[in-house]
């Protein structure tokens, strides 16, 4: 007769452990302190929203705007996404139609598609060069 173990770890708990482990590694990195508030907010939003590290997820654009501020523009989002990519943290892309375009001619809702990378911050932060968005420092 087989007796099931009393303590079993669910898939969700395993995934949470993976996210916590990834975040701990990133927080311990030298360049973590140089991340702007906007970069950090976006990364944390992605990390808590992902179902699995390494697999594509999605978040409605409205949620991203509420999290990073109503004044978030496509250009600022693209700069933040580029910084996360350069750090080896995540790949992001904005898809769908803007609210104005959807009202005029229909189309899919705007959303951010993303993948949190397992390597999490293994790239040299000095490789960012002059691409780092100065205005994202505040937010």
Q: What is the CATH number of the domain that holds 76?
A: 1.10.10
Note the helical H segments in the chain. Answer: 11-27, 37-49, 61-68, 74-86, 99-105
Domain membership of residue 114 (yes or no) is yes
Per-residue pLDDT reduced to its tens digit, 68-121: 998 999 999 999 999 999 989 999 999 986 666 555 665 668 999 999 998 765
CA distance 138 to 98: 26
pLDDT higher than 90, residue 14:
no
Quick check: is 7 in a domain? no
55 lies in a domain? Answer: yes
- The predicted-structure confidence for 46-64, as pLDDT tens digits, reads as follows 998 998 889 999 999 999 9
Q: Is residue 71 part of a domain?
A: yes
Residue 46 belongs to some domain of the structure = yes
Task: Look up the domain containing 45 and give its range.
Answer: 34-121
What's the number of domains the chain is made of?
1
pTM of the model: 0.71
Domain presence at residue 134: no
**HSE of 15, CA atoms in CB hemisphere, 13 A:** 13
- In angstroms, the CA 100 to CA 12 distance is 38
DSSP state of 92: E
Question: How far is residue 113 from each of residues 6, 13, 20, 25, 46, measured CA to CA in Å?
Answer: 38, 23, 21, 24, 10
Q: Write the CA distances from 33 to 10, 47, 101, integer angstroms.
A: 33, 18, 39
Decide if pLDDT at 126 tops 90.
no
> Is there a contact between 96 and 108 (Cβ–Cβ < 8 Å)?
yes
Residue 137 has pLDDT above 60, yes or no: no
- Residue 88 is assigned to a structural domain of this protein: yes
Q: Cβ distance 116 to 49 under 8 Å?
A: no
CB 76 within 8 A of CB 96: no
- The answer to whether position 43 is within a domain reads yes
pLDDT band of 124, cuts 50, 70, 90: low
* More confident of the two residues 25 and 120: 25
pLDDT at 18: 81
């Amino acid at each position: 007769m087989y007796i099931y173990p009393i303590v079993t770890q669910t898939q969700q708990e395993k995934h949470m452990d993976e996210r916590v482990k990834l975040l701990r590694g990133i927080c311990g990195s030298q360049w973590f302190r140089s991340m702007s508030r906007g970069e950090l907010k976006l990364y944390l939003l992605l990390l808590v929203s992902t179902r699995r590290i390494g697999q594509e997820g999605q978040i409605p654009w409205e949620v991203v705007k509420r999290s990073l501020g109503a004044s978030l523009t496509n250009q600022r989002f693209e700069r933040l996404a580029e910084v996360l990519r350069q750090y080896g943290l995540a790949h992001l892309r904005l898809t769908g139609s803007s609210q104005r375009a959807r009202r005029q001619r229909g189309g899919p809702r705007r959303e951010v598609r993303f993948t949190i990378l397992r390597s999490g911050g293994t790239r040299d932060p000095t490789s960012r060069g002059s691409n780092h968005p100065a205005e994202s420092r505040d937010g």
